Chain A
Amino acid sequence: MSFKRLEIRHLVKAFGGEIVLSDFSLSACGGETVGLIGPNGAGKTTLFNVITGFLSPEKGTVSFDGTKLVGLPPFRIANLGVCRTFQDVRLIRPLTTVENVLLASRDRTGERLVDVLFRWKRTTRRESKMREAAISLLESVGLLDTVDVAGGELSYGQQKLLSLVCCLASGAELILLDEPIAGIAPEMRGEILSIIRELPNKGKCVVVIEHNFDAISSICDRVIFMDAGEKKSEGTPDEIQTDPIVIETYLG
């Protein structure tokens, strides 16, 4: 089994005159977790927005599994197996937990008008099968009690967990996590971190933005320190923690 590869080369992104990503390169492979750290405004979230197609870069290329992503609309990029979470959790608040998981699925059965009007049996059969799978996935992360609760009524930590579960349900091979444990209770942190730690074993390529360095070092094989849109340093968590540049501008 060959793992899919994320390849980012010489990315430049500017808002007006302000450069937020300058000559940024990153390569990551399935089975590995890369951490992105750096002060606010370092361009971490901007990088995610470029990868997922919400922003187009001035220069540079992004490719996943050999497919060029720059210029593709976000939904196509998502369908290539790229999934992300947001710093300020985003999910569909009136939909229940299980419906949010089902929404994330890449199976399109029942989302086309012809399926709804003329293939109703197939649609409902598929739907009940997927629902079962979604419920057992929710059970495995301890969200079984909230299956029929509206997403907007979950606690903040549960919402963050749910958005991570949605990434799993989508079957994405590249998972981009934007501060997955920021602002949530310790127990929930452990739960979320243990799920993230398992992802590389399933062949997923994971990129995590996080300010909590302990968390980063517990889940990442490799850490990149970013500042002012540039990659300042790269290495194992231990190397980064002792890097004088990082200590001076960030960890210190």
Chain B
Amino acid sequence: MEYLVHIGILIGIYLILGVSLDLIAGHTGMLSLAHAAFYGIGAYAAAILALRMNVPFPVSVALCMTLGALLGIVLGALTARIRDDYFVVATLALQVVVLRVFKNCIWLTGGSSGLIGIPEPAVGGYVVSSDFGLLLLVGLACCLTVFVSGRIVGSPLGRVLIAIREDEIVACCAGKNVLVHKLTVLAVGGAFAAGAGALYAHYVGFIDPTSFTLMESIFVLSIVIIGGAGTRWGPVVGAAILVTLPEVLRFVGLPGSMAGEVRQILYGGLLVVFVMWRPQGLMGARMIQRGGVQE
């Protein structure tokens, strides 16, 4: 039972990461490889706020999310003039820089040994000490994320985001301030990713840089692509499948030493298969036609 709760919490955290990245990459077309950086910044900020400053959990989560939003705005402002492949490279750079800071800013982050003893979250005097309580908390956070992202996608703003993804020139001609919309999405996506980081830090109680590497960014991107980029439930399904899949492998009796490698092969293979044969993902109804491909 405890094991299932653990899986549930992990699915929840990756669901938040997947849904928030889908807003940025799937709906707005900004393929970001820096999502683990946002996630990590939230986790480290939560750990530092709890360990050094004794900031209460709800306040800390709010601060972490604000920090994530600010980082999103900074990323958006720095990449204002670039798009497509160049944007991917810029986010890759951000990811690398942030990871280096985690590793080398030892006085703040503890370097490679990380931060230990992050307390269990306490909401209004009640300490969430059981894993089940935490699952509820994560579940609530998931609902909030899906709710906010669903609203954005289903609103006129969502329509503008699709326009920006498909053809920025059309969006400009329709009078849309493309930069402001991109910053908005990066801020919202960054805030939720940082929030997921804060939940993760309080759940495991120990964080180190290995949880926030480029591989992690790619894993979240796989969730989005395999589930279905730019769809409402795609990242939800993607998170459930990709988190559960390696756990299933555990039961086929694979030795622990091999499990890690097999997992990498599996993710890589799945990603290739989906990109080649079902680029719209599991939940995508129709192929998204790129502007100008036809005719």
Contact = CB atoms under 8 A, between A and B. Distances in A.
A115 B184 CA distance: 13
B289 interface: yes
Contact of B151 (A78, A104, A120): A120
B294 A152 contact: yes
B287 to A, nearest CB: 9
B155 A78 contact: no
**Interface of B: prevailing SS:** helix
A74 B171 CA distance: 10
Nearest to B170: A90
B170 A91 contact: yes
Contact of A78 (B156, B172, B181, B184): B172
A251 interface: no
A232 B72 CA distance: 52
Nearest to B161: A111
Contact of A90 (B148, B157, B167, B184): B167
Given A75-B178, A90-B167, A92-B167, A52 B291 contact: no
A240 B18 CA distance: 61
A225 to B, nearest CB: 27
Given A92-B162, A92-B167, A94-B289, A116 B172 contact: no
> Interface size bucket, B side?
20 to 34
Nearest to B151: A116
B157 A54 contact: no
Given A90-B291, A156-B295, 5 more contacts: A92-B166, A92-B170, A93-B290, A111-B157, A166-B174
Interface of B: 148, 151-152, 155-157, 159-160, 162-163, 166-167, 169-178, 181, 184, 188, 286, 288-292, 294-295
Closest 4 CB pairs of A and B: A110-B156, A78-B175, A74-B172, A79-B175
24 contacts: A52-B173, A54-B169, A73-B172, A76-B175, A78-B175, A88-B292, A90-B170, A92-B163, A92-B291, A93-B290, A95-B163, A99-B159, A102-B159, A103-B170, A103-B174, A111-B155, A111-B176, A113-B152, A113-B188, A115-B155, A116-B151, A116-B152, A117-B151, A150-B286
Interface of A: 52, 54, 73-76, 78-79, 83-84, 88, 90-95, 99, 102-104, 106, 109-113, 115-117, 120, 123, 127, 150, 152, 156, 166, 170
